[in-house]
């Protein structure tokens, strides 16, 4: 990468909301239904039909705004964005233009590849989605308006990011937040979380921004990185060769890994925005905002901080546990029942996540509930079972749903911690291995592991390994 | 008196007393339409079959003793109201084949009362016009003189009521489209306060100005029909959740001591002397009835027409974008792709006046012109609204002419859109201010054409306005005159 240039990136993210019904009518938002089966006069744009704002969409917007440190506007306005396209039934999209619901927010991002920084969020506004065109039918192009009028939030960042890595870090954090809030399912392939990137370059030290290109069709984090990296190289090469970057929309081609010009500024639409006279200005009271704030879940950043500071977990554990809300909630439920955070963390990150992944179940459906797992952890800590035994117990509980104590009792897995019983086994092992005893006593300390192994084997795994270690040391050093 | 001259209240009494039937009343209307509409052209779509079904159902309800005010009353609807299963053209070629899948809220309310829907009435295309001459269904003629326009845009509604084809009708009023044709046809027309009546299912011209209202033969009927359609509708965000009063309760209370303002900006040069004389006579009537007439001023009146033609056209340019040939209506395409389909559909589907207004509105909203036109017009609108607010601190309501002249001749103003626009000069301000206003008959000119008196009430002051109108109607007999057909 050419170090004489600085990359400048601003992102526009469309977050499809998970409300049960559309933003301006009562139709369902469910995905994958028969074409045009989820429509009514309002979302079909039939003559005379009028929009009525879905209050849940406003709740989602306030949630997203509060979670990204925005100011929530007490008064905001819906506007019409006018353009013709067959997937846009009314010939205009209802959006917000001047006076959006959220402004002046920020997210802090940090990563291994760059220093921690704050990315500004210019605005978040509510709008309706368009329908979908289906090309290639024998009847010509067809229109499916099931998606028309489904609610979106558009989150617009400041041009504060300086590399693809920063852009990805910002996007991942935003993605995590909206999924955490439960306002978006986060599915990028289905288009529930879509990103356009405004990319420009400028010589290092220059204050004015370079001319930007708007990149579209970026439907995975990997494509976003590829597209930005390609575009930065393209613009630098163009400038180095004496050319000029033109302001245009460019489409990313994931097969070729390149961006291609879609339309230039001269073909840009004049959207003729004006306040939608069918909708009243939206007034959001402090009481409403406070209600939403009070119901906000603990956010991933707050969770990470609590895990590290209050629970003393390593940063890595905190990040893994906080990454997804259901995992964090599983962990939170567990750590209340069993107050050894590191042991809990090890088990959630290890056995629990491993098992749910292997069995392809959601963690909320994990048969070993936090209560059942806490039962296992309790028996590890009081030395009833060894850590290794505990894994067997975990697997048995997964299949049977029984408690740890039931499984331990039924299978006779109770650890032998009675030194009398262990002495007898140790006697046998020492008697059976005179050569190793001599070698150990001659200074070959590594053989301790061998003796422990032999005792464990003779006890069928039930011996308390800590106690075995201690007893062996006493006996062999005698 | 023939049955065609029934009013809602008189026919209602006959029906309740079972001295006549809804089927008989409907037959009377259908025969009247058969005999007169080839001359008048008030109907775009007739609903004879379903009207008789409505009437039969109404008679059953009347026999069962569960009738409402409008049960069995034959009514007409401007062709701007979405009617389930009944073609709704809005006076445009582009909707020539459009059959809605749903009823407008006001239509639902009429049906719930058991009204008989006789048909869909002629109008200027997309309600854009003051003479009914822009209708794709052809001009509708004034029953008082068939060489004259009926006014517009709700021309067919006013004609059908004046000619006895229906007992009453619904129209819409964006800049005078109920009041001006009511005045030109010698009937009563009321534009309610913005938000008083639901706009759901009313094909939009200019959303911030459009309002649904009754056109009737009497003030009494106007009160009855308004009460039936008014009220909050959760499907229209701009409808207001404010209880609907019993308009009958104070209708007969008189006007003694009422302060009626006479805004000097409405009595100007260019006001036809015969119209002025009729309105002056009406002022005298009110004086005699004990009202106090007070000169007042609405200083920003001069800017109303310019302000209106920026806001209304801007909203219309967006509202009419949905007529693209994709989902409904008439599509024209020679297979040249999407843009070709849009261009051909809209070129062939819209008439000249609609195209003119779409272009004006598109221009007013365009980048670089928005501030100078649309935004400026909104600021002027605020000043006009404040004028009304201020004047209503001094008086209870206002009295003005409805239009500068009586109905003009067909073709007289079609080549001069500006002259046509000025015929709405006295009606536009009430739409910009969002307040209620009505027209009632107050005389005739020398040629025998009716003249209308306008009352402008306070926001949600329909009750007081109707009461004031009723007193005038009782003191005069203009409303009893019928055109000879």
| Residues of chain B positioned with their CB less than 8 A from the CB of A89 | 322, 326-327
- Comparing CB atoms, the residue among B208, B235, B315 nearest residue A50 is B235
Sheet containing A92-95: order of strands: A92-95, A79-82, A274-275
Q: Can you tell me the mean pLDDT for A233-254?
A: 92
| Residues of chain B positioned with their CB less than 8 A from the CB of A52 | 234-237
Tell me what percent of the residues of chain A surpass a pLDDT of 70.
98
Tell me if B365 and A50 make a contact (CB, 8 A cut-off): no
pLDDT reading at A267 higher than 70 = no
- Phi, psi of A134, deg, nearest 5: -115, 110
Domain boundaries, chain A: 5-287, 298-411, 419-477
Q: Which residues of B are catalytic?
A: 78, 153, 177
Q: How far is A210 from B6, CA to CA, in rounded Å?
A: 76
- Phi, psi of B92, deg, nearest 5: -125, 145
Distance from CA of A125 to the nearest CA of B (A): 20
- Comparing CB atoms, the residue among A51, A84, A272 nearest residue B324 is A84
First to last CA, chain A: 67
Q: How far is B417 from B51, CA to CA, in rounded Å?
A: 38
| Residues of chain A positioned with their CB less than 8 A from the CB of B236 | 50, 52
Judging by DSSP bridges, how do beta strands B168-173 and B211-216 pair with one another? antiparallel
Tell me if A48 and B82 make a contact (CB, 8 A cut-off): yes
Among A55, A51, A56, A31, residue whose Cα is nearest residue A40? A51
Among B143, B136, B144, residue whose Cα is nearest residue B120? B136
Tell me if A48 and B81 make a contact (CB, 8 A cut-off): yes
Find tokens 């032998």 and name the residue. A416
Q: How far is B199 from B237, CA to CA, in rounded Å?
A: 9
Helix (H, G, I), strand (E, B) or coil at A217: strand
Q: What is the DSSP secondary structure assignment for residue B148, as one 8-state letter? A: B
Residues A165-178: pLDDT tens digits? Answer: 999 999 999 999 99
Q: What is the mean pLDDT of chain A?
A: 91
pLDDT reading at B154 higher than 80 = yes
Q: For A20-37, b where at least 16 C-beta lie within 10 A, e where not — what string?
A: ebbbbbebebeeeeeebe
Whether A46 contacts chain B with CB within 8 A: yes
- Comparing CB atoms, the residue among A91, A272, A274 nearest residue B322 is A91
Least confident of A133-137, B337-341, B434-438: A133-137
- Least CA distance to A25: which residue of chain B? B235
Provide the CB-side half-sphere exposure for B142 (13 A, CA): 30
Tell how far CA B427 is from the center of its chain: 11
Give me A460's structure tokens.
Answer: 């069928």
Whether B324 contacts chain A with CB within 8 A: yes
Residues B101-134: pLDDT tens digits? Answer: 999 999 999 999 999 999 999 999 999 999 999 9
- Least CA distance to A89: which residue of chain B? B322
Whether B211 contacts chain A with CB within 8 A: no
| Residues of chain B positioned with their CB less than 8 A from the CB of A80 | 318
Residues B347-394: pLDDT tens digits? Answer: 999 999 999 999 999 999 999 999 999 999 999 999 999 999 999 999
Tell me if A41 and B367 make a contact (CB, 8 A cut-off): no
Residues B190-233: pLDDT tens digits? Answer: 999 999 999 999 999 999 999 999 999 999 999 999 999 999 99
Q: How far is B72 from B88, CA to CA, in rounded Å?
A: 23
Q: Can you tell me the mean pLDDT for A4-22?
A: 96
- Least CA distance to A26: which residue of chain B? B235
Among B136, B60, B66, residue whose Cα is nearest residue B98? B136
Judging by DSSP bridges, how do beta strands A213-218 and A248-253 pair with one another? parallel
Q: How far is A5 from B55, CA to CA, in rounded Å?
A: 81
Q: What is the mean pLDDT of chain B?
A: 96
Q: How far is B23 from B30, CA to CA, in rounded Å?
A: 10
Q: For A281-296, b where at least 16 C-beta lie within 10 A, e where not — what string?
A: ebebeeebeeebeeee
The burial of A432, by beta-carbon neighbours within 10 Å (0-12 exposed, 13-18 middle, 19 or more buried), is given as: exposed
Q: How far is B319 from B127, CA to CA, in rounded Å?
A: 12
Distance from CA of A279 to the nearest CA of B (A): 6
**What is the predicted pLDDT for the residue at A264?**
61
CATH architecture of the domain A419-477 equals Orthogonal Bundle (1.10)
Give me A458's structure tokens.
Answer: 């003779």
Q: What is the ipTM of this complex?
A: 0.96
Whether A92 contacts chain B with CB within 8 A: yes
- Least CA distance to B106: which residue of chain A? A48
Least confident of A78-92, A192-206, A428-442, B62-76: A428-442
Tell me if B327 and A49 make a contact (CB, 8 A cut-off): no
The burial of A93, by beta-carbon neighbours within 10 Å (0-12 exposed, 13-18 middle, 19 or more buried), is given as: buried
| Residues of chain A positioned with their CB less than 8 A from the CB of B206 | 277
Largest CA distance in chain B: 70
Q: How far is B119 from B166, CA to CA, in rounded Å?
A: 9
Question: Comparing A387 with B380, which gets the higher pLDDT?
Answer: B380
- Residue A219: band (very low, low, confident or very high) from pLDDT cuts 50, 70, 90: confident
Identify whether the C-beta of residue B227 lies closer than 8 Å to the C-beta of residue B247.
yes
Find tokens 């119209």 and name the residue. B275
- Comparing CB atoms, the residue among A86, A90, A143 nearest residue B321 is A90
Query: CA B449, B451, B454: angle at the middle one, nearest 5?
Result: 160
Inter-chain contacts counted by CB atoms under 8 A, chains A and B? 102
User: Residue A122 — left, alpha, or beta (φ > 0 → left; ψ -120 to 50 → alpha)?
Assistant: alpha
CATH superfamily, region B3-253+466-480: Amidase signature (AS) domain (3.90.1300.10)
- Least CA distance to A279: which residue of chain B? B237
- Residue A63: band (very low, low, confident or very high) from pLDDT cuts 50, 70, 90: very high
Distance from CA of A23 to the nearest CA of B (A): 13
Whether B317 contacts chain A with CB within 8 A: yes
- Comparing CB atoms, the residue among B82, B326, B370 nearest residue A47 is B82
Residues A374-386: pLDDT tens digits? Answer: 999 998 888 888 8
Among A449, A428, A447, residue whose Cα is nearest residue A438? A447
Q: Can you tell me the mean pLDDT for A104-129?
A: 92
Whether B359 contacts chain A with CB within 8 A: no
User: Residue A95 — left, alpha, or beta (φ > 0 → left; ψ -120 to 50 → alpha)?
Assistant: beta
Identify whether the C-beta of residue A7 lies closer than 8 Å to the C-beta of residue B282.
no
- Comparing CB atoms, the residue among B201, B237, B320 nearest residue A280 is B237
Judging by DSSP bridges, how do beta strands B43-46 and A92-95 pair with one another? unpaired
**What is the predicted pLDDT for the residue at B4?**
47
Tell me if A143 and B326 make a contact (CB, 8 A cut-off): yes
Q: How far is A150 from A430, CA to CA, in rounded Å?
A: 75
- Comparing CB atoms, the residue among B200, B206, B370 nearest residue A48 is B200
Q: Say what the alpha-carbon torsion angle A238, A242, A247, A252 is, to the nearest 10 degrees.
A: -10
**What is the predicted pLDDT for the residue at B1?**
36
| Residues of chain B positioned with their CB less than 8 A from the CB of A143 | 326-327
pLDDT reading at B157 higher than 70 = yes
Identify whether the C-beta of residue B206 lies closer than 8 Å to the C-beta of residue B365.
no
Identify whether the C-beta of residue B468 lies closer than 8 Å to the C-beta of residue B283.
no
* Optimal mutation site among B236, B319, B339, B347, interface A, most CBs of chain A within 10 A: B319
Whether A81 contacts chain B with CB within 8 A: no
Provide the CB-side half-sphere exposure for B421 (13 A, CA): 16
Q: How far is B426 from B264, CA to CA, in rounded Å?
A: 12
Residue A44, CA distances (Å) to A87, A149, B329 in order: 10, 9, 13
Query: CA A101, A106, A107: angle at the middle one, nearest 5?
Result: 130
Tell me if A82 and B208 make a contact (CB, 8 A cut-off): no
pLDDT reading at B3 higher than 60 = no
**What is the predicted pLDDT for the residue at A364?**
92
Q: How far is A319 from A306, CA to CA, in rounded Å?
A: 11
């Amino acid at each position: 990468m050419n170090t004489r240039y600085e990359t400048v990136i601003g992102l526009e993210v469309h977050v499809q909301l998970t409300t049960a019904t559309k933003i301006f009518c009562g139709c369902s938002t469910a995905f994958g239904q028969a074409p045009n089966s989820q429509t009514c006069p309002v979302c079909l744009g039939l003559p005379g039909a009028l929009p009525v704002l879905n209050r849940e969409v406003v709740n989602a917007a306030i949630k997203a705004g509060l979670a990204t440190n925005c100011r929530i506007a007490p008064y905001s306005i819906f506007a019409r964005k006018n353009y013709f396209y067959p997937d846009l039934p009314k010939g205009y999209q209802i959006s917000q233009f001047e006076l959006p619901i959220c402004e002046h927010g920020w997210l802090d991002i940090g990563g291994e590849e760059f220093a921690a920084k704050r990315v500004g969020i210019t605005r978040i506004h509510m709008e309706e989605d368009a329908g979908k065109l289906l090309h290639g039918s024998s009847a010509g192009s067809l229109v499916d308006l099931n998606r028309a009028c489904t609610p979106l939030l558009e989150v617009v960042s400041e041009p504060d990011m300086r590399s693809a890595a920063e852009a990805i870090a910002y996007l991942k954090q935003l993605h995590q937040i909206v999924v955490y809030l439960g306002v978006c399912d986060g599915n990028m392939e289905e288009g529930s979380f879509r990103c356009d990137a405004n990319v420009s370059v400028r010589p290092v030290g220059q204050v004015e921004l370079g001319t930007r290109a708007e990149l579209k069709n970026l439907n995975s984090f990997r494509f976003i990185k590829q597209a930005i990296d390609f575009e930065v190289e393209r613009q630098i090469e163009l400038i180095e060769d004496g050319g000029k970057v033109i302001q245009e929309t460019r489409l990313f081609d994931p097969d070729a890994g390149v961006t291609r010009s879609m339309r230039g500024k001269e073909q840009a639409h004049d959207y003729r925005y004006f306040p939608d006279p069918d909708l009243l200005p939206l007034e959001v009271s402090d009481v409403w905002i406070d209600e939403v704030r009070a119901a906000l879940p603990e956010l991933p950043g707050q969770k990470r901080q609590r895990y590290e500071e209050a629970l003393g977990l390593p940063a890595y554990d905190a990040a893994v546990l906080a990454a997804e809300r259901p995992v964090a909630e599983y962990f939170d439920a567990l750590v209340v029942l069993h107050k050894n955070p590191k042991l809990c963390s090890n088990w959630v990150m290890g056995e629990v996540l491993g098992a749910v992944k292997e069995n392809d179940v959601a963690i909320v459906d994990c048969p070993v509930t936090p209560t059942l797992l806490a039962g296992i952890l309790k028996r590890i800590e009081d030395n009833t079972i060894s850590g290794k035994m505990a894994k067997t117990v975990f697997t048995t509980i997964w299949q049977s749903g029984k408690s740890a104590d039931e499984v331990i009792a039924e299978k006779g897995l109770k650890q032998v911690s009675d030194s009398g019983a262990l002495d007898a086994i140790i006697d046998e092992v020492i008697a059976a291995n005179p050569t190793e005893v001599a070698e150990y006593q001659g200074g070959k300390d590594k053989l301790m592991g061998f003796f422990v192994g032999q005792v464990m084997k003779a006890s069928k795994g039930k011996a308390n390994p800590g106690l075995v270690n201690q007893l062996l040391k006493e006996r062999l050093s005698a | 008196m023939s049955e065609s001259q029934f009013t809602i209240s008189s026919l209602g009494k006959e029906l309740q007393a079972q001295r006549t039937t809804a089927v008989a009343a409907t037959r009377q209307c259908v025969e009247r339409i058969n005999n007169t509409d080839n001359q008048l052209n008030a109907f775009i779509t007739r609903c004879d079959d379903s009207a008789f079904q409505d009437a039969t159902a109404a008679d059953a309800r009347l026999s069962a003793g569960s009738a409402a005010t409008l049960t069995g009353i034959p009514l007409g609807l401007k062709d701007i109201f979405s009617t389930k299963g009944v073609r709704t053209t809005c006076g445009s070629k582009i909707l020539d084949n459009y059959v809605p899948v749903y009823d407008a809220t006001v239509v639902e309310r009429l049906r719930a009362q058991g009204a008989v829907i006789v048909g869909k009435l002629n109008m200027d295309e997309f309600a854009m016009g003051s003479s009914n001459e822009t209708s794709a269904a052809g001009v509708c003629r004034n029953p008082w003189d068939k060489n004259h326009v009926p006014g517009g845009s709700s021309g067919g509604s006013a004609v059908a009521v004046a000619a006895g084809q229906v007992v009453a009708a619904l129209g819409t009023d964006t800049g005078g489209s109920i009041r001006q044709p009511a005045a030109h046809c010698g009937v009563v027309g009321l534009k309610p306060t913005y938000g008083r009546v639901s706009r759901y299912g009313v094909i939009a011209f200019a959303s911030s100005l459009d309002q649904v209202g009754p056109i009737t033969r009497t003030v009494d009927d106007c009160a009855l029909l308004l009460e039936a359609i008014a009220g909050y509708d959760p499907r229209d965000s701009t409808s207001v959740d404010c209880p609907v009063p019993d308009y009958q309760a104070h209708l007969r209370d008189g006007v003694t001591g009422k302060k009626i303002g006479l805004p000097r900006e409405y009595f100007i040069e260019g006001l036809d002397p015969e119209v002025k004389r009729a309105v002056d006579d009406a002022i005298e009537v009110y004086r005699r009835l004990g009202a106090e007439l007070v000169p007042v001023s609405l200083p920003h009146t001069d800017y109303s027409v310019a302000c209106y033609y920026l806001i209304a056209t801007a909203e219309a340019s967006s509202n009419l974008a949905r007529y693209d040939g994709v989902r409904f209506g008439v599509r024209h395409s020679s297979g040249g792709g999407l843009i070709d389909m849009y261009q051909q559909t809209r070129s062939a589907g819209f008439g000249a006046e609609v195209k003119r207004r779409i272009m004006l509105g598109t221009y007013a909203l365009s980048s670089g012109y928005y501030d100078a036109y649309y935004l400026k017009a909104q600021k002027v609108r605020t000043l006009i609204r404040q004028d009304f607010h201020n004047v209503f601190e001094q008086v209870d309501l206002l009295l003005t002419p409805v239009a500068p002249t009586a109905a003009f001749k067909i073709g007289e103003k079609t080549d001069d859109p500006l002259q046509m626009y000025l015929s709405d000069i006295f009606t536009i301000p009430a739409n910009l201010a969002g307040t209620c206003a009505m027209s009632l008959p107050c005389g005739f000119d020398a040629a025998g054409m009716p003249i209308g008196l306008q009352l402008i009430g306070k926001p949600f002051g329909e009750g007081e306005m109707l009461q004031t109108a009723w007193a005038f109607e009782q003191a005069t007999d203009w409303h009893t005159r019928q055109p000879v057909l």
